[in-house]
Amino acid sequence: MHSRSEQPRTASTKIVVSGGFGAGKTTFVGAVSEIVPLRTEALLTDASAGVDELAGLPDKTTTTVAMDFGRISLSDDLVLYLFGTPGQRRFWFMWDDLIRGAIGAIILVDVRRLEDSFAAVDFFEARDLPFLVAVNEFDGAPRHRLAAVRTALALPEHVPLITVDARSRESTKAALIAVTEYALSRLAPAG
């Protein structure tokens, strides 16, 4: 019989998946979550015309109206809880609540709509929450050198910048490992 002290201890932490409208946050959480993800999606309707900018998103029929939630075990002793933010400006008031307790964030970027990423970068910089930027490689989207994306977003050199396929479990898992390692390195005492 195992005593309580012999049981492996599991640490859990929170990661936020953010970015502009239609950047792939719901897809990212769904691809990597080991549980059926909680999704708060609603159908886009005529009421959102003029409010949600759908240029470049002809196949988008739903939108997140609160958050996405998922979970992944990176090892026997580390569980990540994933919170996907809504991308539309009218729901940004929730972002401060969603990041509470998070150790880091991933900002998904669609290079076809790069300007939609500026607000997320500014948000996480202003709150000093460790984040990385992940260029979501959509089918048919142009490919740019990461250095060019860094310049376009005015990202400081210390902010990790990677590519990701939000549909791929392995790709999204690698992004989560990268942001976790980055966040933990920022928390570690210097010296």
Report yes or no: 134 and 32 within 8 Å, Cβ to Cβ.
no
Residue 23's alpha-carbon distances to 8, 58, 85, 149, 185, in angstroms, are 37, 13, 11, 15, 27
Q: What is the pLDDT of residue 22?
A: 84
Say how many C-beta atoms besides its own lie within 10 A of residue 151's C-beta: 11
> CA distances (Å), 102 to each of 46, 108, 115, 147, 177, in order?
35, 17, 25, 28, 14
pLDDT at 191: 57
- The pTM of this model reads 0.81
Amino acid 30: pLDDT: 92
* Widest CA span in the chain: 64
Residue 34: C-alpha distances to residues 13, 29, 31, 76, 155 (Å): 15, 10, 9, 14, 32
Tell me, yes or no, whether 127 lies in a domain. Answer: yes
Enumerate the β-bridge partners of residue 1: none
Q: What angle do CA 50, 105, 165 make, to 5 degrees?
A: 75
* 36 assigned to some structural domain: yes
Q: How many structural domains compose the chain?
A: 1
Asked whether residue 1 is assigned to any structural domain, the reply reads no
Each residue's pLDDT tens digit in the chain (191 positions)?
A: 555 556 667 788 999 999 988 899 999 999 999 987 766 555 544 544 454 555 555 554 555 545 788 999 988 888 999 999 886 666 667 788 888 999 999 999 999 989 989 999 999 999 999 999 999 998 888 899 999 999 999 999 999 999 999 999 999 999 999 999 999 998 776 65
107: domain range? 6-187
- pLDDT of 59 reads 59
Q: Which helix (H) or strand (E) holds 185?
A: helix 169-187
CA 68 – CA 33 distance, rounded (Å): 11
Q: Is residue 70 included in any domain, yes or no?
A: yes
Q: Does residue 84 fall inside a structural domain?
A: yes
The domain that holds 157 is classified in CATH as 3.40.50.300
Domain annotation covers residue 133: yes
Q: Which two tokens stand for residue 19?
A: 């970015």
Cα first-last separation, the chain: 42
